[in-house]
Structure 1
C-alpha cells in the first residue's frame, strides 16, 4: 500500500479553530495572522482589501457559528463533541462522531456516552459555541484590539436568537414575525408541549 499525500487535508484543516490555537500556544502570533490571512484570501475575499479585514472576518465567523448552532437547535441535532478542534471558522458542521437527534424535546439530551457531565448536551450547545469563539478570539488578540474582538462576540447571542427565530417560524409555517412568537415557541418546548416537537 502506498502512503497518501496529505496536502489537501491540511488545506481543509486550516479552517478548524484549533489550528489557530496551536500556533497561539506555541507563541507564534505571526503564524496565527498568516492563517487568518489564508482564510480571508480563500473564503472571505471580499474583506481582503479592507483596512479592518480581521474585524470584518471575525464578526462573520461569529455570525456563521451562531447560525450553525441555531440550525442545530431547530432540528434537534446534538453534535456531541464540540471541543475547539471540531469547530470550523467557516460555520460548518465537522467531526460527525457521537452525534444524535432528539426524538422528543429533552433539553439535557447527551448523545456522547463519555460526556458524563453534559458539557456538550443539547441545551449547552449555544454556550459552548460562544466559549469556542472566545478561545478563537484569544488567539487573535496579539494582532487585534480586544475591544474589537469583544464587540464581535457580543453579537453572538442576538445572531443566534434571530436565526433560531427565523428557522422556527419557517418550520411552523409562519409567514410573518409577531411579538407573540417567542411565547408560542416557549410553550411548544415546555414538558406538556414536548409531543408537538415532532412536526
Structure 2
C-alpha cells in the first residue's frame, strides 16, 4: 500500500511541477501561448503587486493560509513517518514461564520457519517475512513448489506442521499467515 501511495504522490507532484514549470518557461521564452494563460511574455511576473496584496485586508485570509500550511506539514510528516516504519517485525516477546519475558528475534524466527518449510516434500524454496505488531505477529510465506508437488498437500503440511511449530515457539494464541504459492519453471516432459 505504501508503495502505491508513494508512486501516486510522486506522480502528482511531478505533473504539477512539470506543468507549472513548462507554462512559465513557455511564457518566459516568448513562445505562443493560449490567451487564457496568466503569463503572456518574457517581462510578465508570476504574481503582480495587486495579486499579492488582494486578500490581506480580509479577516479569513491569514487563518486560511495557516490552516492550509498546517495541513501540508501534517501530511508531509505523516508521509515521512510512513517511510521510516518497518515492514518487518524485529522481535517477538516470548513468555519464558518464570515471570520474565524473553525476546525472540524476528529474523531468527523467519529463518527457522523458512528452513522447516524448505524441508517439506515438494518445496524448492521458502521465503518468510514476519510482520504485524509485537503482540500480534503475522507471517507471510512464499513457497516455490517443485513440478511434482501438490499445492494442497504442501499447504496442508505447512499449516499443520510448520506454522504450528512457529506459533508454539512464540507462545501466541494464534499466528495468522498469508501463503503465496508459485511453481518452479520447468521444461515439458516428453511422452513416448
Q: TM-score range by the shorter chain?
A: under 0.3
Whichever of the two has the greater Rg, that structure is 2
Q: When the two structures are superposed, what TM-score results if normalisation uses the length of structure 1?
A: 0.20
Higher relative contact order (CA 8 A, sep 6+): 1
Greater strand fraction, Structure 1 or Structure 2:
2
Greater helix fraction, Structure 1 or Structure 2:
1
Q: When the two structures are superposed, what TM-score results if normalisation uses the length of structure 2?
A: 0.21
